[in-house]
Structure 1
Amino acid sequence: MTIIENIRLLKGAAVLAERKAVTPSLDLRRFNLFYGFNGSGKSTLSRTFAALQHGKKQDRLPEGCTFEIEMSDGTKFGYPKALTGLEKRVCVFNNDFIAENFRWETGMANPVFYIGADQAEAADQLKALEATFPTAQTKHEGEAKVFREREKAFNEFKRLLARTVSERLRQAARYEAPQFVADVDKLGASADDKLSDADLDAATATCARSEPPAKVKLVEVPVSSLLELIEAAVELAPKSVGSIVVEGLDVHPQMVPWVKQGHEYHVGHDLKSCLYCGKAITDERKKLLTEAFDDNFSKFITELNTAAHHAGDCVETLAIAKAAIPAAAQLSAEFQPPFETAASAFTAALDNVSPLLVTALKAFRERKGAPTSPVTMALPPAEEVRARIKLLDESCNAVNAICKQHADMVDGFNEHQKKAREAIRQHFVATSADDYAKHVSEISDATAKQVAAKAAVEKLEGDIVALRAKVQQHGAAADKINALVKSYLGHGELTIVAVAEGYELPHNGNLSDKLKTLCGRHNDLDRDRLNALERLSQVESHSDSLDDLIAQSSVTVEESRDANAALVHLMEVVDLAHLTDLRKYCKP
């Protein structure tokens, strides 16, 4: 077994000489004796070894003191470097140990443990458990660290997610992580609650509004009139109204409306001559024209004019309807995507129907210009025409339906905004569900492992305490200590007894046997003062210097005076001659 072989380096150790690497070795052996007068450095030297015992510098070592000891195998320990490693091999009994373990003012001492043969097995078990305890404690600390890290990650996850939700909600009260946890428990969102990016942005825009948007006007299209108009064009444009036997009109059919109107004017005003040419209008001419422009023809012209006028109105109406389609930005954000789709379909339907009306209007106008000349129109089949008009009707209704939804939202804006905020919260609960569940699972797993590791440590601690209590029965050591003290003092007057927290020096306010004998012989001795004298002598006997005496003594000034007075009184009564010599040599 290796032993301390040399104090290789020593500096700043009070009165002790400095030692360097080149200083000759002390060549220490298994047993060594250091002796010297008070103040020669014995206590300081013992404190360097006590530093190795405790693994830290002793408070009563001088400031700036450094040292290094060398083992027989060459290993070096010292201060300030490499102070640990010998804690279980070095034991120091010096004045510092006495001050720490013996309390003279209360007559108490810390326990010394004696291990008997019947405790050896428990000691082995204790040693084995103590060896496993650091590993168990390290595991517990590691599991606790993992738990803290996972808890921190989960808290950060909830905090960042809550911040994102709060930015979307745009509400006065800030949305915090606890509210998100409450939403997870309360809302129980599913995959169906996930919003598209467009819907999420629309809900966010709704939440951002401080007041509802304005309503938009519905789009009006006379769908039923459109089909009737085109059917009228199909009927009237090519319709034959018979021959008009008037010389010249067959060659110039465009003049028929003008001649008809002139004839009706001249007859209505009973004019005898033509206002245009000035010639007389004969009865035969009037009769010919009247027969040519009979009621059927007049009815045809009336229908043609009416249809032409109506066609012009419809063409204009469709143009107005196209221009009157609201801009998507005028609607609430959530309606904008579907409205853009509906408006696009409506515009396309208008573009499909408008040319039909333009064709019909053109045919009406051409036929009006030449009522007796049929006009051929290039129109799609009737089924296709009806399909186009039907599609126009449906697309117009789709646009107006969204406009009505927007209007309903405006009327109930507060409730709509509330639902938008709830939809946003459900969306984020749904989209984060997997990550949230993963965090919860990881924390649950870390918690279980931490609890198990903690339980293992607590069980080890309990087992160690129980075994230590079984091993550390200090009562058995009291007899051993009393025997050693008696052999050292040469008498058995100073003894100890075991108590729960250590040992007690039993005096119970009584004097030692010698003082009892003196008091028995001399009744005038003051017992209280003699008690103080005995306490002072006990403290002094364990003090190497005046500094130690002051540091360790708890005797009051009054008790010291009583002790001195008791000493003088004792010498006067018992040994007057000795007192006389003492006064002679100790004159002030």
Structure 2
Amino acid sequence: MSNEIKKIDLIKNMAVFRDFRWSSSVRDGGNNIAEFKKINIFYGRNYSGKTTLSRILRALETGSISDKYRSPEFQLSFDGGSNATQSSLSNHGQVVRVFNEDFVKDNLRFIVDDEQTINSFAILGEDNTKLEEEIEKHEAELGSEEDKSGLLGELFGAEEKFKESRKAYDEKSSELEKKLSDKANKSGTGIKHNKFFGDATYNVPKIKKDIAVVTEDTYSPLSTEQVGKFHDLLREEPKPNIPESSLFNLQYTAIATKANELIGKKIQASDPIQELLNDAALAAWVRTGRSHHHGKKDKCAFCGSDLPQDLWEKLDKHFNQDSEELRQALEALLGSIERERSRVPNLLKIKNSDFYSSFTADLDSLTDQLSTLSKSYSESLVSIKEQIEKRRDDIFTPLEFKTTDSVEKDLNAIRDSYEELRNGSNEFTASLSASQSDARAALRLYEVYTFVTNIKYEDEFAAIEALHKVIFNAEEVRNAAKEKVDVKREKIAELKAQLKDESKGADRVNDYLNNFFGHQSLSLEAIEETPGNASSGYRFEVTRNDEKAFHLSEGECSLIAFCYFMAKLEDIETKGNQPIIWIDDPICSLDANHIFFVYSLINAEIVKPEQYEDGGEIKERDRFKQLFISTHNLDFLKYLKRLPGALNKNKSQYFILTRTDQESNITLMPRYLKEYVTEFNFLFHQIYKCANANIESCENYDYYYNFGNNARKFLEAFLYYKYPNAVEKDDKLARFFGGDALAVSLTDRINNEYSHLEGIFERSVQPIDVPEMRTVAKFILRKIQEKDPDQYTALLQSVDEPDALTDIGDL
């Protein structure tokens, strides 16, 4: 719940920060992303971006950012998971206090115009014992977040429970969401990729809609048989229309009726021959022989005897016209029967391939019935045929027609059923697309139903709902606790408002000026705007020896500004609220003594815990939530290391700002600078990196760009201590390089031309000569090694670098 700042995720279009990304720049030796700690120290030379960083924090304090930036962007992350950007400056909920040049301009306008005054502020007054006791009582009830006591402790506990319940809910929800996502669109197994479901845009929202359907009581899951049918349906391709069968026109009734008529018909011969009447076979033989002899032979073809003259007359009288007509009718009917029988196999050609698979079972049943009935139908026709042949062979003897069981009606029923299936199949062709769409939907829902059954979705959902209720209850408890804290803080603020005394603000500034810096003559005076009117307010004025001060030095302005800031941390809006504090380079224009006193003031009034009484027991609590200090001064950096917790890696973090050309970057401070705090080691390391950098890599550009200044400053210090004697026209470079004219010439040229542009401005628009830089860097390292190998080794060890002589080679 502390909501400390973790990191500045990005900075774009803000002065020297063009496109800074924390995650790619601020990493430790294990390549892990580093984060801010309780105490954070920044070191950077002037114009490296320290003030720009402070302006980002001040934007969180004031709620606005300078309109001088064009399209600025930044984002800060807090450890509670929230963040702040240029678009959300007032939602972080933290008390932020920033000391930088903007703070000075806004509150101490006399620094730029000595006719202006200083903004007043109120701190707790005196002689209000009863009110102070009541405030202490309420503050004790408010408690401390660090100690987890009082209302703040309750709020902390409620917040932790809320976070835990939120985490449990999120984890459970994410687990279920992952299952839904995989089932919906995981490559290879997801519904999205199953051709039977035919939905290439299937996703999590869609599977949630399907789950809502299959979990309803009205949903009935498919049977295995239904699943198979739907799969068969989806394999179907549109079929052509099946034409109506034109052969199915049964003649059984007509044949039977005609047969009944002819078989029972009575006829008589004109002059019958009794012997032929008595022997039907003989009559048939004679009738056949008649056709072979009449008009053709005079002798019997069988026995060779002459045929009697009256034979043909006798036979014509026996085989008269009626009998011949009946015989012809019977023969014609026999022909009809044979034709009908020949049609039977082709009455109905059932081809399953013409139909959709869903019709197969009915078609198979019809085929079986048709086969049986066709056989019966043919047998019935044979029975009629046999009766007709019997009458034909005994033409003058009427017979009683014996009817057989007719299957004509059943066959017609088969034909009607087939027509229904045929029409159904044809209609199915027209609706196939819609039917397949319905089948896909049914199969998809069944797939979802099976899925939710297997993962016990309802149990999972019920568990998530239960966790959501836990969150709701935890949130209510947290909000109630927060409301109590807010009410208590409002009460404390109300009581403090009754205590506030603006005149005491000036006194606190004077305490700091006098006690820490020893400025007895310089002070801040609180002047009541309308004397005697307590509601009129005060203004502050700088005095020297009890008179208004003019023409303050830069050092005096810096001291007053910083003391004013420190005193303002005691105002009623800040004191007790554990602010996030950013102090930007507070030692400008101060001498060494004053630098130490600034450090002492920060240590005593900010870092050192505040003591308070709780139930008769003296306890301590932090005055601040998080502290950021930036500086360009190595002496001040050295003092800052003495702050309590400054060397505790769990409580402190050190950063360095480096500027290359017009762009700055933030990285973790090198160990040698953090531990030794000397620019001499830093400059040596820059020369070492230049000597060993890869020329082809653009990442090493800053080593070459800054080499001129780095080499000049390093050699000035190194040669001063190596050759401290003052000799007229002493060329220390020549002495150092041992008469190597090339080394002297190159070094002198680079030191002068690349560290100063005055007189050779054209150098600023020409490319940097990287090989020359690298060569001079190697000259310097080689000479140090030759002249003082012990110091050379010690310098390498101080910057954690290996012996580079093998890389330097012969120059």
Please tell me the TM-score bracket, short chain as reference.
0.5 to 0.7
- Counterpart Cα distance in 2 of 1:212 and 1:327: 13
**The 10-residue stretch of structure 1 (440-449 or 250-259) with the greater mean CA deviation from structure 2:** 440-449
Shift of 1:156: 4.8
Matched, 1:221 2:268: no
Given the superposition, is the C-alpha separation of residues 331 and 352 from structure 1 closer, same or farther in structure 2, using an over 3 Å criterion? same
Shift of 1:222: 3.0
The aligned residue for residue 392 of structure 1 is 411
Tell me if the contact between 2:391 and 2:398 (Cα under 8 Å) persists in the aligned partners: yes
Tell me if the contact between 2:516 and 2:597 (Cα under 8 Å) persists in the aligned partners: no
Matched, 1:256 2:343: no
The aligned residue for residue 636 of structure 2 is 549
Tell me if the contact between 1:253 and 1:373 (Cα under 8 Å) persists in the aligned partners: no
**Equivalent position to 1:168, from 173, 189, 196:** 196
Matched, 1:450 2:468: yes
Given the superposition, is the C-alpha separation of residues 483 and 58 from structure 1 closer, same or farther in structure 2, using an over 3 Å criterion? closer
Given the superposition, is the C-alpha separation of residues 445 and 261 from structure 1 closer, same or farther in structure 2, using an over 3 Å criterion? same
- Counterpart Cα distance in 2 of 1:192 and 1:226: 51
Shift of 1:317: 0.7
The aligned residue for residue 792 of structure 2 is none
Given the superposition, is the C-alpha separation of residues 142 and 221 from structure 1 closer, same or farther in structure 2, using an over 3 Å criterion? same
Shift of 1:163: 2.7
Please give the secondary structure, in 2, of the residue aligned with 1:167: coil
- Counterpart Cα distance in 1 of 2:157 and 2:211: 47
- Counterpart Cα distance in 1 of 2:336 and 2:231: 46
Shift of 1:226: 1.5
Given the superposition, is the C-alpha separation of residues 193 and 404 from structure 1 closer, same or farther in structure 2, using an over 3 Å criterion? farther
- Identity of matched residues, %: 11
Equivalent residue letter for 2:195: E
Matched, 1:427 2:442: yes
Please give the secondary structure, in 1, of the residue aligned with 2:359: helix
Matched, 1:347 2:371: yes
**Equivalent position to 1:205, from 231, 235, 258:** 235
- Counterpart Cα distance in 1 of 2:228 and 2:318: 69
Equivalent residue letter for 2:191: R
Given the superposition, is the C-alpha separation of residues 406 and 131 from structure 1 closer, same or farther in structure 2, using an over 3 Å criterion? closer
- Counterpart Cα distance in 1 of 2:164 and 2:319: 119
Tell me if the contact between 2:525 and 2:541 (Cα under 8 Å) persists in the aligned partners: no
- TM-score, normalization by structure 1: 0.55
**Equivalent position to 2:349, from 314, 325, 341:** 325
Tell me if the contact between 2:169 and 2:468 (Cα under 8 Å) persists in the aligned partners: yes
- Counterpart Cα distance in 2 of 1:217 and 1:442: 58
- Counterpart Cα distance in 2 of 1:390 and 1:151: 64
- Counterpart Cα distance in 2 of 1:430 and 1:472: 62
1:227-272 CA-to-partner distances (Å, cap 9, x unmatched) read: 33345556666878679954764676335345335536766x5976
1:200-248 CA-to-partner distances (Å, cap 9, x unmatched) read: 2343133xx2x5346356263332x113334555666687867995476
Please give the secondary structure, in 1, of the residue aligned with 2:196: helix
Matched, 1:460 2:447: no
**Equivalent position to 1:312, from 338, 341, 345:** 338
Q: Mapping of 1:59-458 within 5 angstroms?
A: 103=99, 106=103, 116-123=136-143, 124-156=150-182, 163=191, 167-168=195-196, 174=200, 176-177=202-203, 196-197=226-227, 199-206=229-236, 209=237, 212-213=239-240, 215=242, 218=245, 220-223=247-250, 225-230=251-256, 232-233=258-259, 246=273, 249=276, 253-263=280-290, 269=295, 279-282=305-308, 284-321=310-347, 325-365=349-389, 368=392, 371=395, 382=404, 385-386=405-406, 388-409=407-428, 413=429, 415-425=430-440, 427-428=442-443, 431=446, 446=464, 450=468, 453-454=471-472, 456-457=474-475
Equivalent residue letter for 1:416: S
Equivalent residue letter for 1:149: E
Given the superposition, is the C-alpha separation of residues 240 and 182 from structure 1 closer, same or farther in structure 2, using an over 3 Å criterion? farther
Identify unmatched segments of 5+ residues in structure 1: 1-53, 61-99, 498-505, 554-586
Shift of 1:399: 1.6
Shift of 1:295: 3.3
1:133-175 CA-to-partner distances (Å, cap 9, x unmatched) read: 32232123223333333444445555589838962366xx736
Shift of 1:303: 2.6
Tell me if the contact between 2:191 and 2:202 (Cα under 8 Å) persists in the aligned partners: yes
Tell me if the contact between 2:161 and 2:474 (Cα under 8 Å) persists in the aligned partners: no
Q: Output the aligned Cα RMSD.
A: 5.8
Tell me if the contact between 1:219 and 1:400 (Cα under 8 Å) persists in the aligned partners: no
Equivalent residue letter for 1:320: N
Shift of 1:477: 11
Given the superposition, is the C-alpha separation of residues 102 and 214 from structure 1 closer, same or farther in structure 2, using an over 3 Å criterion? closer
1:39-61 CA-to-partner distances (Å, cap 9, x unmatched) read: xxxxxxxxxxxxxxx9989888x
- Counterpart Cα distance in 2 of 1:357 and 1:121: 115
**Whose strand proportion is higher, 1 or 2?**
2
Shift of 1:311: 1.5
Equivalent residue letter for 1:286: W
Please give the secondary structure, in 2, of the residue aligned with 1:116: helix
- Counterpart Cα distance in 1 of 2:438 and 2:352: 22
Given the superposition, is the C-alpha separation of residues 531 and 181 from structure 1 closer, same or farther in structure 2, using an over 3 Å criterion? closer
Shift of 1:116: 0.5
- Counterpart Cα distance in 2 of 1:264 and 1:147: 105
Shift of 1:314: 1.5
Shift of 1:302: 1.9
- Counterpart Cα distance in 1 of 2:210 and 2:166: 34
Shift of 1:318: 0.6
Please give the secondary structure, in 1, of the residue aligned with 2:489: helix
Shift of 1:392: 1.1
Tell me if the contact between 2:517 and 2:594 (Cα under 8 Å) persists in the aligned partners: no
- Counterpart Cα distance in 2 of 1:198 and 1:104: 78
Given the superposition, is the C-alpha separation of residues 490 and 179 from structure 1 closer, same or farther in structure 2, using an over 3 Å criterion? closer
1:282-330 CA-to-partner distances (Å, cap 9, x unmatched) read: 4542333223223332233123212211111121111233xx5232122
**The 10-residue stretch of structure 1 (295-304 or 279-288) with the greater mean CA deviation from structure 2:** 279-288
Given the superposition, is the C-alpha separation of residues 439 and 192 from structure 1 closer, same or farther in structure 2, using an over 3 Å criterion? closer
Tell me if the contact between 1:219 and 1:325 (Cα under 8 Å) persists in the aligned partners: no
Given the superposition, is the C-alpha separation of residues 532 and 198 from structure 1 closer, same or farther in structure 2, using an over 3 Å criterion? closer
- Counterpart Cα distance in 1 of 2:596 and 2:166: 50
Given the superposition, is the C-alpha separation of residues 118 and 199 from structure 1 closer, same or farther in structure 2, using an over 3 Å criterion? closer
Given the superposition, is the C-alpha separation of residues 136 and 198 from structure 1 closer, same or farther in structure 2, using an over 3 Å criterion? closer
Identify unmatched segments of 5+ residues in structure 2: 1-34, 42-95, 108-120, 125-131, 144-149, 527-537, 561-586, 601-630, 641-724, 727-811
Which of the two has higher C-alpha Rg?
A: 1
Tell me if the contact between 1:193 and 1:426 (Cα under 8 Å) persists in the aligned partners: no
Tell me if the contact between 1:315 and 1:354 (Cα under 8 Å) persists in the aligned partners: yes
What is the aligned residue count?
Answer: 430
- Counterpart Cα distance in 1 of 2:154 and 2:38: 30
Given the superposition, is the C-alpha separation of residues 489 and 407 from structure 1 closer, same or farther in structure 2, using an over 3 Å criterion? closer
Equivalent residue letter for 1:221: F
